Amino acid sequence: MDALATLVNLAILALFIVVLVKLFRQEGVGKGILGLICALYSFVWGWQNHKKLGLTSVMTAWSILVVIGMILNVVVRMQSAM
């Protein structure tokens, strides 16, 4: 279960990087650095611009994986506490 949680977290990171690259290209260095520091900004910006930039599938996958990741991380922590 721990390995699965790690894979999901790596996939989340990869999707974050995809959106971050688009953010840097569209908005410049200032907002790109903000997106790097605050992933929530990148997430919201990605959803706001998903149609214009063709990020719908990336943002959908990122959203689903974040939920799955939260659930898996809770399960892994509960297992390790036992």
| pLDDT tens column, 9-59 | 999 999 999 999 999 999 999 999 999 999 999 999 999 999 999 999 999
Confidence of residue 1 (pLDDT cuts 50, 70, 90): confident
Q: Which residues contact 76 (CB under 8 A, 6 or more apart)?
A: 1, 2, 5
Tally: H helices and E strands in the chain = 5, 0
Q: What is the pTM of this model?
A: 0.89
